[in-house]
């Protein structure tokens, strides 16, 4: 578990390149900084300055090595590396509110942008005009889209929104791909068709994630719940109301296990049982080493009594987790979503932690990752 503190300010969003040697992140301003791994250190190698508002989403396409960024200035840029310099191309999103999140499709021929304009922009490159064009998915979204995730078939898109629902849409663009085959979520997939909608009530849906096969969809909500839905089993939604603060990000690490993190500053594991349709809490993944309890001297006791009106050593002022503030994003580094071996979290404390699944399994006795 290596923790690296990049900044003193929150990291708004981050993205890794294909071989995890470089990380692109937004240091809570209008720019994107790219850091390169230099042994044990990280050195800044590029600064991407084009946005006029805070950069709210970054995604790095592993194969084509393009970065897409979206910001509060209602724009998105696609960056390509030419002669060692990143050059931006503006994408007209036709939105009148800030963009909130962006994701490349698995085949990298299009990307989706969620925004406060209550719609999703699906952007693809039109060869004849040498220009990125976008199509909108509007109905029946009624509030800001907070998170997006693509299904492995490159057509279905899950969207979590502030209108308390998680939905699956079809983002089929006939100009760039052939008709997709049927999936457990449905077989007729014209553009903009909604194939699944979760029940209302509850809180804003902060994060959505498809499993590796695409058959399961997990989302976290602001009412401190985690839910998993399986395609095909229309009404099967397993929810777990947790006892912790709301979770802000979630990802599958195997077909049946999820890791989520949020305002409690540590990642937690959940295990989904498809046969029983149940979701259970698997364990807290950030167990700090217990420092030896030193004896407390009489002088310290009186000092504590004087300052804190209690005799004990007050260690609740400092968080014992690695991250000292909410974790806002989680990304899989190695192994994909089927057999993840390493994942990374960034948070509002400006730090980034890389977690090793094997080490976690060995160090925590009752942890079972299915």
Partner 1 sequence: MSKQPTSARFRRVDVDEYDENKFVDEEDGAENQLGPDEAEVDSLCGTGNLIEALHAVLKNPPINTKNQNVKDRAEGLVLKVLTAFKSSDIEKGVQSLDRNSVDLLMKYIYKGFEKPSENSSAVLLQWHEKALAVGGVGSIVRVLTARKTV
Binding site for partner 1 (CB under 8 A): 118, 142-143, 163-164, 200-203, 222-225, 241-246
Q: What angle do CA 252, 257, 262 make, to 5 degrees?
A: 65
In the complex, the smallest distance separating the C-beta of residue 167 from partner 1, rounded to whole angstroms, is 15
CA 365 to chain centre: 27
Candidates 216, 238, 235; CA nearest to 227 is 238
Candidates 103, 123, 173, 114; CA nearest to 141 is 114
Sheet holding 55-60, edge to edge: 55-60, 66-71, 76-82, 85-91
Give the residue with the Cβ less far from partner 1, 182 or 277.
277
Give the residue with the Cβ less far from partner 1, 39 or 201.
201
**DSSP secondary structure code for residue 181 in this structure:** P
Q: Where are the alpha helices (DSSP H) in the chain?
A: 298-308, 357-363
**Cβ atoms within 10 Å, residue 66:** 18
Q: What gap in Å lies between CA 111 and CA 59, rounded to an integer?
A: 9
In the complex, the smallest distance separating the C-beta of residue 194 from partner 1, rounded to whole angstroms, is 16
Q: What angle do CA 231, 158, 138 make, to 5 degrees?
A: 120
Q: What are phi and psi of 231, to 5 degrees?
A: -65, 140
Parallel/antiparallel/unpaired status of strands 31-38 and 55-60: unpaired
In the complex, the smallest distance separating the C-beta of residue 200 from partner 1, rounded to whole angstroms, is 6
* CA quadruple 217, 208, 258, 341: dihedral sign: positive
Give the residue with the Cβ less far from partner 1, 84 or 201.
201
In the complex, the smallest distance separating the C-beta of residue 97 from partner 1, rounded to whole angstroms, is 11
Q: What gap in Å lies between CA 9 and CA 219, rounded to an integer?
A: 27
In the complex, the smallest distance separating the C-beta of residue 84 from partner 1, rounded to whole angstroms, is 46
In the complex, the smallest distance separating the C-beta of residue 264 from partner 1, rounded to whole angstroms, is 8
Give the residue with the Cβ less far from partner 1, 182 or 199.
199
Give the residue with the Cβ less far from partner 1, 136 or 212.
136
Q: What gap in Å lies between CA 363 and CA 342, rounded to an integer?
A: 15
Give the residue with the Cβ less far from partner 1, 78 or 205.
205
In the complex, the smallest distance separating the C-beta of residue 223 from partner 1, rounded to whole angstroms, is 4
Give the residue with the Cβ less far from partner 1, 26 or 119.
119
Q: What are phi and psi of 142, to 5 degrees?
A: -120, 0
Give the residue with the Cβ less far from partner 1, 202 or 350.
202
Give the residue with the Cβ less far from partner 1, 163 or 193.
163
In the complex, the smallest distance separating the C-beta of residue 140 from partner 1, rounded to whole angstroms, is 11
Candidates 302, 222, 209, 215; CA nearest to 258 is 209
In the complex, the smallest distance separating the C-beta of residue 164 from partner 1, rounded to whole angstroms, is 7
């Amino acid at each position: 578990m290596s923790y690296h503190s990049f900044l003193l300010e929150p990291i708004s969003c981050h993205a890794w390149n294909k071989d995890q040697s470089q990380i692109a992140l937004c240091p809570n301003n209008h720019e994107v900084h790219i850091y390169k791994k230099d042994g044990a250190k990280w050195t800044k190698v590029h600064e991407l300055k084009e946005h006029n508002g805070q950069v709210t989403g970054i995604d790095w396409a592993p194969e084509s090595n393009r970065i897409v960024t979206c910001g509060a200035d209602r724009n998105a840029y696609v960056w390509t590396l030419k002669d060692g310099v990143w050059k931006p191309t503006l994408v007209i999103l036709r939105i009148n509110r800030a963009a909130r999140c962006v994701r490349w499709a698995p085949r990298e021929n299009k990307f989706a942008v969620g925004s406060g304009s209550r719609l999703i922009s699906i952007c693809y490159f039109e060869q004849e005009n040498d220009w990125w064009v976008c199509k909108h998915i509007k109905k029946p979204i009624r509030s800001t889209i907070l998170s997006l995730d693509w299904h492995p078939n490159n057509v279905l898109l899950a969207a979590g929104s502030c209108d308390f629902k998680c939905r699956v849409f079809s983002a089929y663009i006939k100009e760039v791909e052939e008709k997709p085959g049927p999936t457990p979520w449905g077989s007729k997939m014209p553009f903009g068709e909604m194939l699944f909608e979760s029940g209302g009530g509850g809180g804003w849906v902060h994060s959505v994630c498809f499993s590796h096969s695409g058959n399961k969809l997990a989302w976290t909500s602001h009412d401190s719940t985690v839910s998993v839905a399986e395609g095909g089993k229309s009404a099967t939604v397993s929810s777990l109301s947790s006892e912790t603060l709301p979770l802000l990000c979630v990802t599958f690490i195997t077909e049946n296990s999820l890791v989520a993190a949020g305002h409690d500053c540590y990642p937690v594991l959940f295990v989904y049982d498809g046969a029983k349709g149940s979701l259970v809490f698997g364990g807290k993944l950030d167990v700090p080493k217990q420092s030896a309890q030193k004896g407390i001297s009489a002088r310290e006791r009186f000092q504590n009594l004087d300052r804190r009106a209690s005799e004990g050593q007050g260690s609740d002022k400092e968080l014992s987790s690695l991250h000292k503030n909410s974790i806002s994003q989680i990304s899989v580094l190695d192994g994909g979503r089927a057999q993840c071996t390493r994942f990374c979290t960034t948070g509002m404390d400006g730090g980034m932690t890389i977690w090793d699944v094997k080490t976690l399994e060995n160090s925590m006795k009752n942890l079972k990752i299915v």
